[in-house]
Amino acid sequence: MPLRKSHSKSRFGCLPCKKRHIKCGEESPSCNNCTNRRVQCVYKSPHTPDDGSSRSSTSMSRSETLSGELHTARTPITVTRAQELHLMAHYITSTCETVSHGKEDMHVWQQIVPDEAIHHEFLLDGILALSSLHYAWKYRDSRLVYSEIAMNYHASALKGFRDALNCITDEKRCALFAFSVILNVLALAFPNICPTSEQSSREESVVTLIELLQGLRFIIRGQEDFAIHLAKYQPLWAPFIYPAHLPTPKPADEVAAALARLRERTNSIQSSIDAEQHRSYLAGIESLEEIFGQMNKDPTYLGQIIGWPTTVSPTLLDLFKQEDPMAQLIFIHYGALLLYTRDRWWGRNTGVRLIESLSRSVSNKHPDWVDLMQWANAAAVSVQQD
């Protein structure tokens, strides 16, 4: 076997060359290898392109995993202004379409949200994180580089989001609302794109996402506040608000039967749990029933699925964190809701994996509860066979 030609190693080569285990010429702003292969050339700090047009993304010294908790320290990735322009162009021409469901909300994501981001850096970082992750999914040769960039923007956006939640003003409401949707999409997308995000369990990721979104309860209180403060985002929320005199859409028969079994089990253990715990179970089931009903009426609008975590009560969340089996059963059926997102790049496998993971946990504790998980698991198997 001929020996592979050796080369002197350098710590300053670009990420695509490192991934391919080839020598990088370290040319700026793009090395010859990347130029020839027509892939984005990105260097890790301390290498800085000679044209002086680069900036290290704010607060990117430590990357944040999907779970929202700071993981191991990463070397900041230097992102040039040209790359940021490229990411914004990719968002406006491609990514925004993947979170839209029609012409009206396409206008919101393509024009209104970017305009809002000019005044709120956490929203801008969220847009760039989403665009980076979509680019990583779309172009496999650039997946390593752009998934890293996405995680760094995600970390920066989360810091700004938390700061903004500490001081909510009318001026920030629209930006916080838009970012909350992006945050949900990112949470669903990361495990499908970034293998490193699997280091935290899917359940922990769901918990952290819901905890982050608890602050949104203080942004909007009732339909009147939606109309007043989020009027320009009306295409995003209007399809899910039903006049009081109209009946709420009902879920399909098999879904209604599955949720009825959950209610029966909840009521059967009522004597062994406190009243607040019982109420939290029933409220969680009711909110799922409403959204399943809306999806049965119009399965093209996924916003209500993305927004379900904001409806979860602190009590139900605490029970889920404690691996309470009844709470896990409710979240298994949230996983079934997520199956509606399977044809989107950001939700492809999330629902299936959540159902499988939680079903194993519940089965270990209560093998006799298999009938309560049967419908959700059958739905997960069915979509994988399509």
pTM across the whole model: 0.74
* CA neighbor of 258 nearest in space, from 373, 119, 369, 157: 373
Strands (E), the chain: 54-56, 78-80
Q: What residue ranges do the domains of the chain occupy?
A: 7-52, 64-226, 242-385
The tens digit of pLDDT for each residue in 75-106 reads 556 788 999 999 999 999 999 999 998 787 89
Tell me what pLDDT residue 312 has: 87
Give me 182's structure tokens: 């992006």
Multiple choice CATH, 7-52, 3.40.50.11540, 3.40.47.10, 4.10.240.10, 3.20.10.10: 4.10.240.10
Which segments of the chain have a pLDDT < 70?
A: 1-12, 20-21, 28-29, 32, 35-40, 44-77, 195-205, 212-230, 235, 237-246, 386
Q: Are 137 and 143 in contact (CB under 8 A)?
A: yes
Determine whether 17 is exposed, middle or buried from the number of CB atoms within 10 Å of its CB (0-12, 13-18, 19+): buried
